[in-house]
Structure 1
Amino acid sequence: KDQSYVLGVLDDRQLAHAMFPLGDTVTTKEEIRAEAARRGLAVARKPDSHDICFIADGDTQGFLAKRLGKAEGDIVDESGARLGTHEGAYGFTIGQRKGLRIGTPAPDGKPRYVLDISPVTNTVTVGPADALDVTALTAVRPRWCGAAPAGPGAYTAQLRAHGDETPVTAELTGGELRVTFAAPVRGVAPGQAIVLYDGTRVVGSATIASTTRATAAAV
């Protein structure tokens, strides 16, 4: 798997001390597992991790509820109308459709999705699928793997560890990274890291602070 996304949080000083045992070899996962087994490493037979690696059963919501406790809050629509309740905003993700337990259908009869999560008010906002489309974002606390970009530039961006790259234009303004997508994207949430690439080179990363939807103002 391409793990270059995680390098976006490292600066050039840290990268200078980083070691990558596999180097640039074209080695298959099966060959790597066989080598690990030959060396007696327990991870040779460890299953692939597709979610949070330290939550073995995949029950992220249960893991958080056990440690944070239940915290009832409201589920609202875009107008602020209360549709239902939840037991903890931490149990939701942007773009989630299942498990909302709203009860009443949307006026158009179509599914509703999580559009926004506010930990401060413990409120989850839901709405139609097209309200998930994001055209731009602002990100803070940028970290560069080398020199910071000078002026606006064209890059590709990755928004999650196993997500696809998408073309963007990005510019550093007043310490904040302003990013515009070539085409609307979904599943963008404040708190995520956005990692910029110049070809195959990791340029750096920043933490998403706000987004601009195609159908609404910044949230």
Structure 2
Amino acid sequence: MRKTGCFLIGLVLAATAIFFVPPHVLAVNSASYIDFVIEAPHPDGIAVSWWGGASPLTGLNISVTGIQGDRSDDDFLGITGGLLSFTTGPLTSYDNTSWHFGSGGNIALTGGVSALGIASPDTLLLWGSFSEVSVLKVDTRFKVILASSYNELNADVANFFGVSGPYVGSLNLSFFSNESPGQPFTATSLQGGQIEATSVPVPAAFWLFGSGLFGIAALRKRRSV
């Protein structure tokens, strides 16, 4: 009877941990995602390339001009000298309308953000690796990169927008080239797009419930000694 009573008390404590958590602990982040804006014109040396075979898709010197959160009152933060470069995993397949690349590789965005006191244009603002990447042929010349990734964010950027990791990301970027899927290409006529980093935090209640269950186990162990 005493053990049953202790178990019930522990269960009540675990439930209390969920339903009586202070509101500021359970509150969602101020912003759930951040957009890094890709805009033309791009600097010299820009290129998106695939060299054929199992080689990866690569991007170099892609201009990123600013950061925008999803809150209605978020300021647009300009990026000075923002450059995006990436390398995907190897080509896995292609069909009549698209190329497909595997996971891995890397993505890195550098730049300065004067509004946050980030002066150096070589500062890492976002970095990570890809989970999957596709290049879609929209018409004879127009193509779009659609990719998903796992990202990390510069701490000053994350703090300003009130987000926390872990993050999942996406990349979309449009460009022009005459090649069809299966043919190698190097495109220097890039247009616009965006990189999105979405915060996916573990709910606070989950951790508190786990703490409550741990307390139950500890209480039962103590009573059994």
More helix, by proportion: 2
TM-score (norm 1): 0.22
TM-score (norm 2): 0.21
Say which one has the larger Rg: 2
More strand, by proportion: 2
Q: Which has the higher contact order (CA 8 A, sep 6+)?
A: 2
